[in-house]
Structure 1
Amino acid sequence: MSETSAKTFSGLDKGAATAAPVAEDRSRPVHVQKLDAHGRAYATGKRKNAVARVWVKPGVGKIVVNDKDHEAYFARPVLQMILKQPLVTANRLSQYDIYATVAGGGLSGQAGAVRHGLSKALTYYEPELRTILKKEGFLTRDSRVVERKKYGKAKARRSFQFSKR
């Protein structure tokens, strides 16, 4: 084997190693702020069959869901709590105005979808919040959905009542 082929085979070239620029740290991805033309962050959240479109912009803490106040749309306090969890965790309850449109599913799924979309939109507006929200599990889409009904069964798994005679 010649000297030039040995260099290319081993991949070591002493001259190129010293002239190579210093590589950036690629172990952590860089997250940048993503805003639209109006200065808002947009994200889509999903839960069960519900899909929420969420916009976040600086404001006084007003939350509007489907053109209604969030307290009027989600009447149960548990759903309101689910909706506000990312803001409470990030300590940003009265810093942003949130506008959301949500469709599909029931109220529980819709509240979860808005929470998921709000968490994603907050990370687009403030990328440094990503570690806090990810640790709490708000950025992960809850993949649990209703199991389909199978033939020969009364429901998804329930069998028909057994009759001996």
Structure 2
Amino acid sequence: MKVSWLPPSLRGGLRCACSGRPIASLSPLRQPFLSTSAKQFSITSRIRAGIAAPEIDFDELEDKNFVPDLQVAEKKEDTNGSKGKDRDDEVFYARVVPESRSYFGAQPIFIDTLITLRRLVRKYAALPTVKAGEAPRVAFRTLADYRNTSGETVGASKYSQIVEALRRLNHIHPSLRPKEVVDVLNSHKRDINPFDNKTKPIQIDRFGRALGVGKRKSSTARAFLVEGTGEVLVNGKTLVDAFARVHDRESAIWALKATDRLDKYNVWALCSGGGTTGQAEALTLAVGKALIAHEPMLKPALRRAGCVTRDPRRVERKKAGHVKARKMPTWVKR
């Protein structure tokens, strides 16, 4: 297609497209746009001064022996009255660098603590350790205490990583522990060791009664055990009137039945809260504790019968969208 066949308004544009040389537009309106020169592509790494601040040549600054200062250096005058060198006037403005690399994280104190503990674990991994049962019993700080000290909302799973590293350091043989390991363990210990607090044994009063307390779910039972003929009163009622189910009656006096002491002790109990099953099983624990006060040698037998250990299970709560605690609604396709 020849350019001469087109109207004059389109000839200039086609000449620019067909020619390899830049051709000035015939229209005076297009001249300002075509007069601008194209930007040259540059591969240099140095930033131009018109765009950003110039790069800092640290080698040159070291040669000049500049001292970092945030205030403008005053000009020094010589003894002859002349001003000091230009080097004294130049000031190097240093950037404020955070003390820790974790400063910009969400939990810098936790990250620094975990990194320090893991570094110690790797550093002293070759030291001999003791068995799990022979390691010193140490109570480390709780999660709530650590949150108050650090001021960070650390999750339970994250704090367990710190406790795991501390336990690994605690398994190092006490006679071979380095000083920094001892200092780290002492900084994470509680002020009071809960393992030193032992449960006081149940005392028998001047009437020959031993008081035992037991709990099960939301029920609580207090049982007074005294030597007698085997009578049982629960809230002022006999065992048959207090518990309608035979299984609950057996649970209430299971500690005496398992040790063949049904006809040697009288039980006077007070139960509250929960239902009959919870009260009966709470009474099992209460009678078992009171029986240990009278005959401490029966503790292994009562433990095997399940009359010493408290059952921590509770009713699981109902969830939203579920029929019960775990039951889901029946799925219908249509």
TM tier, smaller: 0.7 to 0.9
Instruction: Give the aligned partner of residue 87 of structure 1.
Output: 256
Instruction: Give the aligned partner of residue 327 of structure 2.
Output: 158
The 5 Å alignment of 1:96-135 reads 96-135=265-304
The 5 Å alignment of 1:1-165 reads 34-165=203-334
Equivalent-residue separation in structure 2 for 1:33 and 1:161 (angstroms): 53
Instruction: Give the aligned partner of residue 81 of structure 2.
Output: none
- Is the Cα contact below 8 Å between 2:224 and 2:269 reproduced in 1? yes
**How many residues are treated as equivalent by the alignment?**
138
Unaligned runs of 5+ in 1: 1-8, 10-28
Equivalent-residue separation in structure 2 for 1:147 and 1:37 (angstroms): 43
The 3-state SS of whatever aligns with 1:79 is: helix
Which structure has more RCO (C-alpha within 8 Å, separation ≥ 6)?
1
Equivalent-residue separation in structure 2 for 1:153 and 1:37 (angstroms): 55
Instruction: Give the aligned partner of residue 5 of structure 2.
Output: none
- Is the Cα contact below 8 Å between 1:45 and 1:115 reproduced in 2? yes
One-letter code of the match for 1:118? V
Equivalent-residue separation in structure 2 for 1:149 and 1:81 (angstroms): 31
The 3-state SS of whatever aligns with 2:320 is: coil
Which whole-Å deviations, capped at 9, do the CAs of 1:69-107 have from their partners, x for residues lacking one?
111111222221222221111111111110101011111
**34-43 or 115-124: which moved more?**
34-43
Q: CA RMSD for the aligned pairs? A: 2.2
Equivalent-residue separation in structure 2 for 1:139 and 1:147 (angstroms): 24
Which whole-Å deviations, capped at 9, do the CAs of 1:51-86 have from their partners, x for residues lacking one?
101110111111000011111111222221222221
TM-score normalized by the length of structure 2: 0.39
One-letter code of the match for 1:66? N
TM-score normalized by the length of structure 1: 0.75
